[in-house]
């Protein structure tokens, strides 16, 4: 299986979270703009930030790393991709067995009546609202179907991720800092079950010393080389 983090989407022009100068949290406090309490307290401030995120992601397309993972799955060499990303790029690249543990921007929902709206509809409602808040037909603000700070990860996705890690012969960690729990537990789970862990990321991770292999090159180059080799 593969576990992917923000680094796999950087070649598509999507900034990661903490890199100096370019990270998403470089100039904002995530607890003020990406916490469930912030959404409930002031949807206008929340959507000022998330509306920009939606706009930033609108024209982004999968890169060679996303396509390489989809190719490995198509060849029967990869059971699934577990991703911490919300950007939809794995699905756009053709990954079928995809576990989005932090949710997806593909749709947003109303917390009052549960109505769900696709991203294009949400963008239209965002643009049409005088306060810049996409709203349900009932009038309530819509919330992106992503896991915000202060929320639990979806139980089904988390169980699937842990089950895949426990049964993997190889866990391929791509572009993840392996610092965000509980997903950061997956490499240890694979190793405990007798599997190997291969890390492909340009930065250091807490699991580097215990990994079977660590590759520090560009994620696109490394994964395209892997596809060519197998």
Tens of pLDDT along 71-117?
999 999 999 999 999 999 999 999 999 999 999 999 999 999 999 99
Q: How many helices (H) and strands (E) does the chain have?
A: 9, 9
What CATH number should be reported for the domain whose range is 2-229? 3.40.50.1220
Mean pLDDT of 226-230: 93
Catalytic residue among 66, 90, 102, 107: 102
Check whether 34 has a pLDDT greater than 90: no
Check whether 197 has a pLDDT greater than 90: yes
- Domain ranges within the chain, ordered by starting residue: 2-229
The predicted pLDDT at position 16 comes to 66
102 carries an active-site annotation: yes
User: Would the CA dihedral through 131, 133, 137, 138 be positive or negative?
Assistant: negative
Burial of residue 75, with CB atoms counted within 10 A of its CB: 0-12 exposed, 13-18 middle, 19 or more buried: exposed
Check whether 47 has a pLDDT greater than 70: yes
The predicted pLDDT at position 14 comes to 86
Give 101-157 as a DSSP string: TTEEEEEEEETTT--EEEHHHHHHHHHH-TTS--B-TTSPBEEEEE--BTSPPPHHH
Tens of pLDDT along 108-155?
999 999 999 999 999 999 999 999 999 999 999 999 999 998 999 999
pTM score above 0.95: no
Around Cβ 121, how many Cβ atoms within 10 Å?
14
């Amino acid at each position: 299986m593969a576990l992917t983090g923000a680094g796999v989407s950087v070649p598509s022009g999507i900034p990661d979270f903490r890199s100096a100068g370019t990270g998403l949290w470089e100039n904002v406090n995530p607890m003020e703009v990406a916490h469930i309490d912030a959404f409930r307290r002031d949807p206008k401030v929340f959507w000022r930030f998330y509306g920009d995120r939606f706009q930033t992601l609108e024209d982004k397309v999968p890169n060679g790393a996303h396509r390489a993972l989809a190719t490995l799955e198509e060849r029967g060499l990869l059971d699934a991709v577990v991703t911490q990303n919300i950007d939809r790029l794995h699905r756009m690249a053709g990954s079928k067995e995809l576990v989005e543990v932090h949710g997806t921007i593909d749709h947003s929902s109303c917390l009052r009546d549960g109505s769900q709206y696709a991203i294009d509809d949400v963008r239209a409602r965002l643009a049409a609202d005088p306060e810049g808040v996409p709203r349900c037909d009932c009038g309530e603000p819509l919330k992106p179907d992503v896991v915000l700070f202060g929320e639990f990860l979806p139980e089904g996705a988390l169980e699937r991720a842990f089950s895949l890690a426990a049964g993997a012969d190889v866990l391929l960690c791509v572009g993840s800092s392996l610092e965000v729990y509980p997903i950061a537990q997956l490499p240890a789970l694979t190793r405990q079950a007798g599997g190997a862990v291969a890390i492909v990321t340009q930065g250091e991770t807490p699991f580097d010393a215990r990994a079977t292999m660590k590759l520090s090159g560009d994620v696109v180059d490394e994964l395209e080389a892997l596809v060519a080799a197998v």
